[in-house]
Amino acid sequence: MPEPSWSSVDRYIIDTFHLSDPVLEETLRSSAAAGLPSIQVSPPQGKFLHLLVRLLGAKRVLEIGTLGGYSATWMARALPPGGKLITLELEPRHAEVARKNLERAGVGKVVDVRVGRAVETLPTLGPEGPFDLVFIDADKEGYPDYFDWAVRLARPGSALVFDNIIREGAVLDPAHPDPRVRAVRLLNERMSSDPRVSATEVQTVGGKKWDGFALAVVQRPGP
């Protein structure tokens, strides 16, 4: 038997757990047709986010980095009646594609795509929180700032998830020339020593190669 590749194992998981459907496929197809980069989460990761929303009983979810709305669709499908997902996107074109995809997926009413730089939108979101789950998947240079905003917009017991915190192991190099890698290292330093959260990171392989995600849970106030 040939040695299985990470992608073929992902394919097996997708098939076995039925992690694709015509609506999600159409979201990927229309995003690619519009020229969006194919950097959305994988189907198993999308289902993982979906299950996190359910585990948390999340009613208010915040996403930073919409792209074509693929991860947003997975999360929105897990919301209870009255639930709401706000997703922040820099590129108007991405937002436009996402809105069409979300509408087609039947979650257009529960997902609100806000266009602009996340650092400018985040300070406006206080009245719409607190958020039960924040999924951070936009520009990596912004991760340290997004961490701080996410904690402030959350409540005790909320979860923060960051995508792409391993990047093929690049994170090991403290002098890495790529500012995105240095930003993720700064995020890790802050997140690991911040008494407001308890956090860990999990490495992953699959269709998205070798990468990983961070999970932080906001602490309940001490005595």
> By CB neighbour count within 10 A (0-12 exposed, 13-18 middle, 19+ buried), where does 4 fall?
exposed
The contact pattern for ligand DHB, residues 145-184, with x = CB under 6 A and - = no contact, is ------------------xx--------------------
- Binding test (CB under 6 A) with ligand SAH, winner from 61, 79, 107, 118: 118
> What's the CA gap between 50 and 8, in Å, rounded?
22
> What's the CA gap between 201 and 207, in Å, rounded?
19
Minimum distance of Mg ion from residue 49's CB (angstroms): 11
Short-list 190, 136, 192, CA closest to 164 = 136
- The tokens describing 201, both together, are 């990171």
- Binding test (CB under 6 A) with ligand DHB, winner from 14, 39, 56, 215: 39
Q: 15-21, long-range: CB within 8 Å, 24+ apart, which pairs? A: 17/44, 17/47, 19/43, 19/44, 19/46, 19/47
- Binding test (CB under 6 A) with ligand SAH, winner from 67, 75, 133, 134: 67
- Binding test (CB under 6 A) with ligand DHB, winner from 10, 137, 160, 161: 137
Using rule CB under 6 A, residue 213 touches ligand SAH: no
Q: What residue ranges bind ligand DHB (CB under 6 A)?
A: 39, 137, 163-164
- Residues of this chain that interact with ligand SAH (CB under 6 A) are 39-41, 65-67, 70-71, 88-91, 94, 117-118, 137-139, 142
